[in-house]
Structure 1
Amino acid sequence: MFSSYQKKQPPEAANQGSREMRASTPSKRTAAKICHHLSPIEPVSDGEDILMAGVEAMAEDQALDPLEESFKSMDLAMDAVIVDEEQANNLLNSVIELDVNGSNPMDSDYVPPICVRAAGGLQSAIDALPIVGLDESVVDILNRDDETDEDPDNPESDEEKDNDVPSFPGPEKVSVEDDLVDQPACIAFNSSLARMVNFLQLPIKKCYYREDQMGTECDATPPFQVKFLKRGSATIIEWFCIHGHKLWKWNSQPVLKYSMQGGDFMVATNILLSGNNFSKIALFFWYMNIGVVSQKSFRLMQSHYFIDSIKEFWEEKKRAAIIDRLRAKDSVVALADGRMDSPGHTAQYCTYTTMENESKDIISVVTVDKRQTNCNSVIMEKHAFIQTFDSLLENLNITEIVTDAHMHFAALMGYVGGGALSCHREA
């Protein structure tokens, strides 16, 4: 048993010490009291100290290192920097701070900001963790006991296996182009899907939800509630128990990377490939009361996926093969014309297309922005004409050019060609 000594103090010092203790926190007050009673540094005087009755004196050579270590063990070990995940996420180890300094008593809608942070030794341990830079990557490694080959979207667990819970299939993934291209599709009505869903029940006897903290199981039994959601051109069906636990989700379309739906991707792709525009197709879908991909998503997919892929395919495969075949001809007749994005003198873009007369193959497509012609939309077609045939004449022997009746072209051909090329005006 450890001995405890109490040093006599004057009444003023005792009162002052009691006031200081009342001003400190409970934990600090308790620690200060114990350290004062058991401090091995302070000398002991027989004339001033009174030995407590019933407590044996401590040997002088007896060390207090085990007791001091016990005090240190009350805090987190800073050298090891081990933070338990459950302790870090437990609200009992957190402090809620409410900032009321910027509040306005006259403003009834003001909501002061609230900050939830770790407290005590947990915050010190978190601050001592190593900092990960932008050039580093952190990969979580599961313990061997946590490793599993199950689908993360599948809510089945070991407890659920004991209850004969079937394995629900996850969303259909698109890994290669054959999983999406040339796949047959149909138009399905929600009423028909609802009849099928209400007739076919999920093959489970009760809700498999289990609360993580308390381990309480949900006792809801079939029939379960069904909810229909519309997302783009797809229909999503979700099953819920009477307590609101989601049991399964089914998507009418396969899913690509970043949760992009396959039907939305195909609609956006074929709008561009078929030569249509989004406004007309969206209006058609609206009259049919069918969901369609949003215009913002269509433009994002067009700029990130479609334009570069189509241009690369045409330049490297289609056009290259056509140019190689026409290069052997002694005479090539080119048909060319431009089209503005809007009528009048307010056009912003001009697309100039050139076609070979006999095979009717497209041999050139050039797009000119009005900013390339000093914001003069009148000469955009002339600029596109020059850019087109400067490139074609390097590879083909073009002897005739058929274009529309434009005075700029006539003047340009007479000046540049010097009679070598003839310009036929369309009737």
Structure 2
Amino acid sequence: MTKKNNSFVSYVTIISIIFLIIFQIGCQESNNPVGVEDIVASKTETIIPLTGGIIEITTENVGIIQLIVPPMAVSDTERITIQVLNKYLSNPFSNNIIPTIRILPDGLRLDSLVTLKLVLNNPVSDTSKTILYYLMKPDLALPLKTRWVNKSEVIGEIYHFSDYGGAVPTEQEIQSQAGSLINQFSCDVWNWQSFSQFISAMLEYIELAQLLGYDDLAQQLINQLEQRIIDQVNSFLDQPIPEEPCGYYINTLLKYSEMVFTMVNNEALVERCQNRISEVLNRCYIRGEIEFDYDYSYSDANGTIHRSHSGFVPFYVNTLSEPHGQVNGNGTVEWTGEEHAGECVGTEVLTGNVTLTGELEIDNQGIAWLNVQITETYSGSVTVVCPGGSRVLPMNPPTTETNVRFLMEDGAYVINPPPTPMTGYFKWILHLQHLPGKAYCFEND
């Protein structure tokens, strides 16, 4: 394997969305200061992008609280704190089931959703009417998308850090909050996290309205929500594409497009999203080729065979969405060979369909490796010419799979010997054609 005169500063940025553009404009929420005397328990952990992490705290007034941060959910190393209060911060619900849980840094936006898991000391009686909520301001709360494992254990999804609680809202509170949210909520187009939280909250209120038999209200909210998505996404697409779109911009585009593809019946907007994604992805994925160079021979008392394979198979590495670092590629490789047995000569001509899969890996030294599984399926024929005539025979050798590990540098190569008793080599060469934000990943020695 060869190595150029480059040193890796950090290749983590490639997997964690390279050259992140941070926008500070966001949806406003009320500030609810609390004193030290209001905090029952607090725990802080340092979370890094590559690994994520879990913060867990247990209190008598709630139970077990877990914040599960997946890899790449934070764009920078963060000191994240869970605080459990001894009171309910002012909120629009009359029947709260847990005191306020505060997650800091307040307002921190996430690149992917984070899980808030609670195992309650006091089980709820009806999970279908119990919510976890994000407290946007004292008179407006957004229910989280939740999954109840049982009457004590609930899992909620959050998109940014703030104040959270749990409640059993009344019918009047559901109607009031749903109406207030759809009418009052506004969000900057760059803040997909808050808009996603809004979408989840509205879907929860719609589900509660349907559960209570308010079908007309539910349909009205569905129609209004669809229009809000259309307006928000069109406003985002009206913004100019930044010069470097391979960070926050593409992440925001993919999040908004997912909303359109799953919740909106608008062909023009769907096509607009698809066109924008194609335009931007071409500028953001790692792209390259693997060159195939096989040369091997076999001989015995009956004759000799000499074969060579050559070709280039393109691939890309997904650096933008989960699963980060996934390798995908396919193409063809040509196989030529010559057989000699007595007075007969055989000429082999085959074409191989090649599929590349695998992942980009960062080792514990911060060095990037490309782990690729190569699957080759060949078909063709051999033309045998003897003094008495010629024949064309089909050749369909079995599919092979080979695992190859490249140093993630242009020109790196791997050489394997062929199976015995053959002599020669199987060689693969890595060609990197496009590295988004390359200046941020390498520096010259």
> What's the TM-score once normalised by structure 1's chain length?
0.21
Asked which structure has the greater RCO (Cα within 8 Å, sep 6+), the reply is 2
> What's the TM-score once normalised by structure 2's chain length?
0.20
- Name whichever structure is richer in strand by fraction: 2
Larger-gyration structure (1/2): 1
